[in-house]
Every structure is written in structure tokens, then in C-alpha cells.
């Protein structure tokens, strides 16, 4: 695993919130991929 100090704190919070909401890693990836295609 990478050095945790190098992680962007906003991304860490985003992923923690997604996990609390019951989303899987695959669901988060799918959402981010879908949104990046739109921009």
C-alpha cells in the first residue's frame, strides 16, 4: 500500500463517506468513470 501521507485528504473523506453510505468500491469507480466521460 502507498504511503498514507501522500493521499489527498478530500479523496479520503469522499471514500469514507461513500463506504458509510453503503457504496462498494466498484460503485464509486463506476460513478467516477461515468462523470469523467461527461466532462
3-state SS string over 1-39? Answer: CCCHHHCCHHHHHHHHHHHHCCCCHHHHHHHHHHHHHHC
pTM: 0.60
List pLDDT tens digits, range 1-39: 566 667 789 888 989 999 999 999 899 889 989 877 765
Amino acid at each position: 500500500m502507498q504511503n498514507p501521507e501522500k493521499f489527498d485528504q478530500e479523496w479520503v473523506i469522499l471514500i469514507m463517506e461513500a463506504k458509510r453510505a453503503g457504496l462498494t468500491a466498484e460503485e464509486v469507480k463506476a460513478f467516477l468513470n461515468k462523470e469523467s466521460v461527461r466532462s
